[in-house]
Amino acid sequence: MLAIALHNFPEGLAVGTGVGSRSMTIAAPILVGIGLQDIPEGFVVALALMGVAYSRKQAVLVALYTGLVEGVAALVGFFATSFASGVLPWALAFAGGSMLYVVSDEMIPESHRQEYAKEATAGLMVGFVLMMFLDVTLS
Protein backbone atom coordinates (compact mmCIF):
# COMPACT_ATOMS: atom_id res chain seq x y z
CA MET A 1 0.00 0.00 0.00
CA LEU A 2 2.84 2.36 0.86
CA ALA A 3 4.57 1.69 -2.46
CA ILE A 4 1.37 2.51 -4.38
CA ALA A 5 0.80 5.67 -2.34
CA LEU A 6 4.41 6.75 -2.97
CA HIS A 7 3.99 5.91 -6.64
CA ASN A 8 0.80 8.00 -6.83
CA PHE A 9 2.47 11.20 -5.61
CA PRO A 10 4.73 11.70 -8.66
CA GLU A 11 1.88 10.55 -10.89
CA GLY A 12 -0.20 13.35 -9.45
CA LEU A 13 2.66 15.79 -10.01
CA ALA A 14 2.82 14.68 -13.63
CA VAL A 15 -0.93 15.18 -14.08
CA GLY A 16 -0.86 18.57 -12.38
CA THR A 17 2.12 19.85 -14.31
CA GLY A 18 0.67 18.58 -17.57
CA VAL A 19 -2.61 20.38 -16.98
CA GLY A 20 -0.74 23.41 -15.61
CA SER A 21 1.05 23.69 -18.94
CA ARG A 22 -2.31 24.68 -20.46
CA SER A 23 -1.39 22.68 -23.53
CA MET A 24 -3.54 19.71 -24.48
CA THR A 25 -0.62 18.35 -26.53
CA ILE A 26 1.30 17.97 -23.27
CA ALA A 27 -1.60 17.21 -20.93
CA ALA A 28 -3.64 14.69 -22.97
CA PRO A 29 -1.08 11.85 -23.17
CA ILE A 30 -0.28 12.25 -19.48
CA LEU A 31 -3.94 12.24 -18.45
CA VAL A 32 -4.88 9.29 -20.66
CA GLY A 33 -1.83 7.20 -19.78
CA ILE A 34 -2.03 7.71 -16.04
CA GLY A 35 -5.83 7.46 -16.02
CA LEU A 36 -5.76 4.14 -17.88
CA GLN A 37 -3.39 2.54 -15.41
CA ASP A 38 -5.01 4.00 -12.27
CA ILE A 39 -8.14 1.85 -12.58
CA PRO A 40 -6.42 -1.55 -12.61
CA GLU A 41 -3.94 -0.26 -10.04
CA GLY A 42 -6.79 0.47 -7.61
CA PHE A 43 -8.27 -2.98 -8.23
CA VAL A 44 -4.92 -4.61 -7.52
CA VAL A 45 -4.59 -2.77 -4.22
CA ALA A 46 -8.13 -3.74 -3.18
CA LEU A 47 -7.73 -7.38 -4.23
CA ALA A 48 -4.41 -7.69 -2.43
CA LEU A 49 -5.97 -6.30 0.74
CA MET A 50 -8.91 -8.68 0.49
CA GLY A 51 -6.35 -11.49 0.25
CA VAL A 52 -5.01 -10.53 3.69
CA ALA A 53 -8.39 -10.52 5.47
CA TYR A 54 -9.61 -6.96 4.80
CA SER A 55 -13.33 -6.72 4.16
CA ARG A 56 -14.44 -5.59 0.72
CA LYS A 57 -15.44 -2.18 2.10
CA GLN A 58 -12.13 -1.72 3.95
CA ALA A 59 -10.13 -2.77 0.89
CA VAL A 60 -11.95 -0.32 -1.39
CA LEU A 61 -11.54 2.52 1.12
CA VAL A 62 -7.80 1.90 1.51
CA ALA A 63 -7.42 1.74 -2.30
CA LEU A 64 -9.26 5.07 -2.57
CA TYR A 65 -7.04 6.60 0.12
CA THR A 66 -3.90 5.58 -1.77
CA GLY A 67 -5.39 7.31 -4.81
CA LEU A 68 -6.13 10.53 -2.91
CA VAL A 69 -2.39 11.13 -2.71
CA GLU A 70 -2.44 11.60 -6.47
CA GLY A 71 -5.13 14.28 -6.30
CA VAL A 72 -3.23 16.28 -3.70
CA ALA A 73 -0.02 16.04 -5.71
CA ALA A 74 -1.89 17.06 -8.89
CA LEU A 75 -2.99 20.27 -7.18
CA VAL A 76 0.58 20.96 -6.06
CA GLY A 77 1.90 20.35 -9.57
CA PHE A 78 -0.83 22.45 -11.19
CA PHE A 79 -0.30 25.47 -8.94
CA ALA A 80 3.48 25.21 -9.15
CA THR A 81 3.51 25.24 -12.95
CA SER A 82 0.70 27.79 -13.21
CA PHE A 83 2.76 30.31 -11.29
CA ALA A 84 6.13 29.43 -12.78
CA SER A 85 5.83 28.04 -16.32
CA GLY A 86 9.63 27.87 -16.62
CA VAL A 87 9.54 25.13 -14.01
CA LEU A 88 7.34 22.87 -16.18
CA PRO A 89 10.11 20.83 -17.87
CA TRP A 90 11.89 20.36 -14.55
CA ALA A 91 8.68 19.42 -12.76
CA LEU A 92 7.79 16.83 -15.42
CA ALA A 93 11.34 15.43 -15.30
CA PHE A 94 11.18 15.18 -11.49
CA ALA A 95 7.77 13.49 -11.62
CA GLY A 96 8.92 10.98 -14.24
CA GLY A 97 12.16 10.25 -12.41
CA SER A 98 10.31 9.80 -9.13
CA MET A 99 7.89 7.34 -10.69
CA LEU A 100 10.74 5.34 -12.19
CA TYR A 101 12.54 5.28 -8.85
CA VAL A 102 9.50 4.04 -6.93
CA VAL A 103 8.70 1.42 -9.57
CA SER A 104 12.26 0.10 -9.78
CA ASP A 105 13.00 0.27 -6.05
CA GLU A 106 9.68 -0.86 -4.57
CA MET A 107 7.22 -2.34 -7.03
CA ILE A 108 9.35 -4.49 -9.33
CA PRO A 109 11.21 -6.25 -6.49
CA GLU A 110 7.93 -6.81 -4.63
CA SER A 111 6.25 -8.27 -7.73
CA HIS A 112 9.11 -10.78 -8.13
CA ARG A 113 9.04 -12.14 -4.55
CA GLN A 114 6.49 -14.83 -5.29
CA GLU A 115 6.41 -17.31 -8.14
CA TYR A 116 4.89 -14.73 -10.49
CA ALA A 117 8.12 -13.14 -11.74
CA LYS A 118 7.48 -14.00 -15.40
CA GLU A 119 3.92 -12.62 -15.27
CA ALA A 120 5.12 -9.44 -13.56
CA THR A 121 7.81 -8.92 -16.21
CA ALA A 122 5.30 -9.57 -19.02
CA GLY A 123 2.90 -7.05 -17.46
CA LEU A 124 5.66 -4.46 -17.26
CA MET A 125 6.54 -5.01 -20.91
CA VAL A 126 2.91 -4.82 -22.07
CA GLY A 127 2.43 -1.61 -20.06
CA PHE A 128 5.55 -0.07 -21.58
CA VAL A 129 4.45 -0.93 -25.13
CA LEU A 130 0.97 0.48 -24.44
CA MET A 131 2.44 3.74 -23.15
CA MET A 132 4.70 4.04 -26.21
CA PHE A 133 1.70 3.38 -28.47
CA LEU A 134 -0.31 6.08 -26.67
CA ASP A 135 2.59 8.50 -26.87
CA VAL A 136 2.92 8.05 -30.63
CA THR A 137 -0.82 8.09 -31.41
CA LEU A 138 -1.69 11.05 -29.16
CA SER A 139 1.29 13.20 -30.17
In this prediction the pTM is 0.61
* 3-class DSSP state of 48: helix
Largest CA distance in the chain: 48
Query: Which residues fall within 8 angstroms of residue 118, CB to CB, at 6 or more apart?
Result: none
Q: Is residue 97 a contact partner of residue 17, using CB atoms and an 8 Å limit?
A: no
Comparison of pLDDT for 139 and 98, the residue scoring more: 98
pLDDT digits (tens, 9 = 90+) for 63-116: 888 888 888 999 988 888 877 777 778 877 888 888 888 888 877 888 888 788
Nearest to 34 by CA among 89, 86, 77, 90: 77
